Amino acid sequence: MVTLTYREAATRVHRSRRTIRHWRLHGMRMGWEVRDGQRVRVVELEVLLAWWRQRLKNDPVHQQRLRAKRAAQAAARDSSEPISS
């Protein structure tokens, strides 16, 4: 079981520490751990990635980027195929 601090979690999913805190306040399960004599909040990697994937799935900007990328790939694939007569 891999656990990450706020900073490590934010770095892992390319978000700010404030975003990780926001997710915790809205229900993401986090616990406490003692590191270097200090109590720190930690989140399991699997829990963090599940929250992150759910947020991407519901993000309209991310979905539009995916659609644009697929369309560009399809156009490139169609233009590279030889025309048969």
- Domain membership of residue 27 (yes or no) is yes
84 occurs within a structural domain:
no
Is 85 inside a domain boundary? no
pLDDT in tens, 14-73: 999 999 999 999 999 999 999 999 999 999 999 999 999 888 888 888 889 889 999 999
- Residue 68's pLDDT is 94
Q: Are strands 3-4 and 31-35 parallel, antiparallel or unpaired?
A: unpaired
Q: Which domain holds residue 53?
A: 3-78
Q: How many helices (H) and strands (E) does the chain have?
A: 4, 3
User: What's the rounded mean pLDDT across residues 5-20?
Assistant: 93
Our count of domains for the chain comes to 1
Query: 8 in a domain, yes or no?
Result: yes
Model-wide pTM > 0.85: no
Read off φ and ψ for residue 33, nearest 5 degrees.
-150, 150
CA angle, corner 12, sides to 70 and 47, nearest 5?
Answer: 90
